[in-house]
Amino acid sequence: MNKNKKELITITHPFEPVYDSHSKILILGTMASPKSIEYGFFYGHPQNNFWRVLANIFDVGLPESIDDKKILLLKNNIAVWDVLHSCQISGADDSSIKNPVVNDFSEILAKSKIKAIFTAGMTATKIYNKYCFEKTGISAIYLPSTSPANRKYYNFDSLVKEYNIIKKYL
């Protein structure tokens, strides 16, 4: 095996979605990264800017615990999950994804007030558009990935500016 090429592993999404009956928007990533799985919650890589961006947008302190992160989401009517239920992937490399199986969003949509779906990153957007849009009937609104691997939008201020659009739907 080529040392530069990592092996694909099959992964099933380990987290339940975070939402409640008041959720108005749904933010979808692609799939939980190895660091997020190790941490036990969405956007768990210490260099991922997701939680810093939301804290900035809502002018609150950075949530530290998983419970604090859930409170930040639900207090602001935000639901979070990922597009994929399972896939084959090499580490956290979205470009390596094979055999994607998408999550079923019907329960979240039926039990909440979600009117807008945001996809975080180009891969999440492409997968959602290809496999999910027809079932949900809600067009995805693209947001840049907050991952440290996303060099184009690594600038924190750029991410905050892009993510501010979510406030229009809350």
Residue 42 CB partners (closer than 8 Å, separation 6+): 15, 18, 29, 32, 36, 50, 69, 80, 81, 82
Whether 150 is catalytic is: no
Using DSSP bridges, classify how beta strands 140-143 and 25-29 pair: parallel, antiparallel or unpaired: unpaired
Do the beta carbons of residue 160 and residue 56 sit within 8 Å? yes
DSSP letters along 78-110, please?
Answer: EEEEESEEEEEEETTEEEEEEEEEEPP-HHHHH
Amino acid residing at 126:
K
Among 4, 48, 77, 103, the one annotated catalytic = 48
Catalytic residues: 48
